[in-house]
Structure 1
Amino acid sequence: MEAAPLFSQSVSGSAWAKRATSAVTFPPPLRFLIPALLLLLGLLAAWMDYELDLANDLTRNFNDVTTQAEATGTRLTQLSKQHLQLGEIKALNDNLSDWKHEPWLRMAAVVDEKGHVLASSSSQWVGLSAEETPAATAWKRASQNVGKVMESATLDDGDFIVLAAFPLEIPAQTQHWLLLVYDRANAVLHAHQDARRRMEWSASVIAIMCLGLWAILHFGVAARLGRLARSVREFGEGRTISIEPVKGGDEVHELSQAFRKMTRRLADRDRERTVLERAVIDSAENERRRIGHELHDGIGQQLTAVLMSINGLHDELLAKAPAFAEHAQHASQSLREALAEVRGLSHGLAPVPLWEQGLEHALQALADATTRSSGVRCVFECPEHITEISESTACNLYRIAQEAVNNALKHAESGEIRIGLERRAGLLVLEIDDDGCGLPEVPAEGGGIGFRIMQHRTEVIGGRMEHGAPPAGGTRIAVHIPTTP
């Protein structure tokens, strides 16, 4: 009579832990993905802002330069006309030199109709052809037009310039031109530098904000949820009896408190179930023992008495009625077989060595009985004497070994079975090996009734059962029970 597992509909620890951890685990990539995406978007926005600021600064600078060129050209046109009408070329040179410090002005020159520089803001250009000066492009544009020229251009050396050409119409003289060249290179460079500084400042602020967001997600959310998930997983695997609290006053803390309450209820329920299951198994073992004793002391003794009577009758029939003695002999043989079967049932239900001499002698008797009854060699190995085992633990280990041996005989087609009992690294280890064809792979929550009963008995005594194949092949059932040496 085997005790069926109680609370078969309750949630197992491992299954509950899987569902719980999958519910609370914060996906690790998100703590990096969210700040990274925000950082990329922020940098893209900073770059777009840089481009817009630069374009606005360059447009503003160009407008300022053209406005200044217009105003300067108007004033210098009047001044140049006066000096040319009076023939005061030296005075014109002096006046143009006074304008050389005007912002962005690179060159101011007055040229005649042949393009010779008559006066300039710098004496180095006087007397040269306009095509040999920075005003060469302005002169080309002016010589092709009659009116005023105002445009932007780029010199061969890459400088950004604004060209201005103003016609000097002097009566009784040939056509002269006032040429102005404004260099915007420094202004463009400063605009780029200013826009870049603003972009770098914005990017730094965005990076710091994203780093802060990552720190909040990592330390404030993900790490705390990770600790909670780890505690839940350890609780489900039986490595801890409670979940550590997660500090804080937010939802993560509330979730931690809810899980703590849940685990306490589950732990209390598991303890109650274990106590009740142990009581049921102990009650079943006591009932086994009682039935075994009744078979041995009651029916067994009665059958023994009947066997003795039939043997006496057989002796009398041999002397008085030999023809009927053979019937008495057949009856005696049948009674011997029935008595042997009753004794086998009695010893199976209540093995005498287990209760009187301990687990080692009971397992040795099991191995000897298996060899005698099945013809399959069964050996028991125990390197040291095992003591300090409770009656409940010894009984469950014996029943596990008994079930494993029966499985090996029924399913594995074994030629040899080994039962081993030893202490190993603070554990009491029971192993049942066979050299047969092996058992089919047992699912985590399935398998035959015998396998489930062995698992259940192992859990009741606080152990762990493993199922696999030894190096030489076959099947191995190993039960590990925590104990003290």
Structure 2
Amino acid sequence: MSSLPIHDLTQLRAQCAELERERNELLREREVMNHSLELHERDRQLLAFEIHDGIVQDMSASVMLLDSAARQIQFETPAAKELYEQAVRTLRESGAEARRLIRGLIPVVLDEAGFVASLQKLVLRFQNDYGLQVAFQADVQLQHLAPAFEMIILRVVQEALNNVWRHSQCRQADVQVQQLGSELLVRIADQGLGFEPGDVKPTRYGLTGMQERARMLGGATQIVSHPGQGTKVEMQLPLARAVLDDPFAQRK
């Protein structure tokens, strides 16, 4: 039985120590990222509560006051009555829009069955609540990722579908999730109005948020759009970090 030379053993120990150091560094990064995401989700929920308990309630009260006033006064001209009715309609429409925004701020829920099941529920919600027809396809072997990855995937898909509903003037969208070697590809596309990315502020449509979320995970988000040609959002994430020390990641 032969043994390794001392210098080989020393080199092997150094390599193992370096791998362990890198692993611990990734774990620390994940802890920081998870904490940051938890704070972000909490802030979104607080904002949803503030909108509901503040702006939405004030709009509802204003409509009630206007209805009460209309029963006690006579409009001098049909035009005056039309202005009143227009004001009430605007308030009601704004209230409905605020409630839809609240639904978008409520924290997404991770399904125990995995992130694909969570995406299916999110897609179903957009179909039921917003009337979007969403074609969903998933070609993945991994059903579970690290919670931070699952949360960010859901948020990016949610933001992209919100944009389809609010800006594209299109009621159809495609959501695809593919596992390509060591990467996960998430694609959301529509055939709506489209826009020129260079002509809009990065903060509009949540573009900056989608890109920053992917960057937090070591990935990238690309937005491809042209006027009249629809919009495509593609997010690529490294799977090596997504499954690190996740005991559920290899389950099917």
TM-score where L is the length of structure 1: 0.34
Structure 2 residue 141 is matched with structure 1 residue 381: no
In the other structure, the counterpart of 1:477 is: 234
For the residues of structure 2 that align with 1:348 and 1:411, how far apart are their CA atoms? 15
Structure 2 residue 115 is matched with structure 1 residue 360: no
Q: CA deviation at 1:285?
A: 0.5
In the other structure, the counterpart of 2:5 is: 248
Instruction: Write the deviation string for residues 63-86 of structure 1: whole angstroms up to 9, x where unpaired.
Output: xxxxxxxxxxxxxxxxxxxxxxxx
CA contact (8 A) 1:291 1:349 kept: yes
3-state SS of the aligned residue for 2:173? strand
In the other structure, the counterpart of 2:50 is: 294
In the other structure, the counterpart of 1:346 is: 102
Q: Cα 1:394–1:295, aligned 2, differ >3 Å: closer, same or farther? A: farther
2:88 to 296, 309, 332: 332
3-state SS of the aligned residue for 2:234? strand
3-state SS of the aligned residue for 1:316? coil
Instruction: Write the deviation string for residues 430-449 of structure 1: whole angstroms up to 9, x where unpaired.
Output: 54244589999xxxxxxx74
For the residues of structure 2 that align with 1:278 and 1:334, how far apart are their CA atoms? 40
Relative contact order, higher structure (CA 8 A, sep 6+): 2
In the other structure, the counterpart of 1:207 is: none
Count of residue pairs the alignment pairs up = 211
CA contact (8 A) 1:435 1:474 kept: yes
2:61 to 285, 296, 305: 305
CA contact (8 A) 1:404 1:477 kept: no
CA contact (8 A) 1:414 1:435 kept: yes
Q: CA deviation at 1:248?
A: 2.9
Structure 2 residue 208 is matched with structure 1 residue 452: no
Q: Cα 1:295–1:338, aligned 2, differ >3 Å: closer, same or farther? A: same
For the residues of structure 1 that align with 2:187 and 2:165, how far apart are their CA atoms? 16
For the residues of structure 2 that align with 1:381 and 1:345, how far apart are their CA atoms? 23
For the residues of structure 2 that align with 1:254 and 1:289, how far apart are their CA atoms? 53
CA contact (8 A) 1:431 1:478 kept: yes
Instruction: Write the deviation string for residues 24-81 of structure 1: whole angstroms up to 9, x where unpaired.
Output: xxxxxxxxxxxxxxxxxxxxxxxxxxxxxxxxxxxxxxxxxxxxxxxxxxxxxxxxxx
Instruction: Write the deviation string for residues 181-223 of structure 1: whole angstroms up to 9, x where unpaired.
Output: xxxxxxxxxxxxxxxxxxxxxxxxxxxxxxxxxxxxxxxxxxx
3-state SS of the aligned residue for 2:134? strand
In the other structure, the counterpart of 2:25 is: 269
CA contact (8 A) 1:311 1:329 kept: no
CA contact (8 A) 1:418 1:434 kept: yes
Structure 2 residue 45 is matched with structure 1 residue 285: no
CA contact (8 A) 2:214 2:235 kept: no
Instruction: Write the deviation string for residues 268-296 of structure 1: whole angstroms up to 9, x where unpaired.
Output: 22211111111111111011012112212
CA contact (8 A) 1:293 1:350 kept: no
Matched ranges for 1:432-443 at <5 A: 432-434=188-190
Instruction: Write the deviation string for residues 125-150 of structure 1: whole angstroms up to 9, x where unpaired.
Output: xxxxxxxxxxxxxxxxxxxxxxxxxx
Partner amino acid, structure 2, of 1:452? Q
Q: CA deviation at 1:347?
A: 1.8
TM-score where L is the length of structure 2: 0.58
3-state SS of the aligned residue for 1:262? helix
Q: CA deviation at 1:331?
A: 2.9
Q: Cα 1:478–1:300, aligned 2, differ >3 Å: closer, same or farther? A: same
Question: Structure 2: 5+ residue runs without aligned partners?
Answer: 112-117, 198-206, 225-229, 244-248
For the residues of structure 1 that align with 2:50 and 2:167, how far apart are their CA atoms? 32
3-state SS of the aligned residue for 1:418? strand
CA contact (8 A) 1:412 1:439 kept: no
Q: CA deviation at 1:454?
A: 4.1
Matched ranges for 1:401-416 at <5 A: 401-405=157-161, 416=172
For the residues of structure 2 that align with 1:308 and 1:389, how far apart are their CA atoms? 48
Q: CA deviation at 1:416?
A: 4.5
Identity of aligned residues (%): 19
Question: Structure 1: 5+ residue runs without aligned partners?
Answer: 1-246, 441-447
3-state SS of the aligned residue for 1:477? strand
In angstroms, what is the RMSD of aligned CA positions?
5.0
Q: CA deviation at 1:418?
A: 0.8
Q: CA deviation at 1:341?
A: 3.3
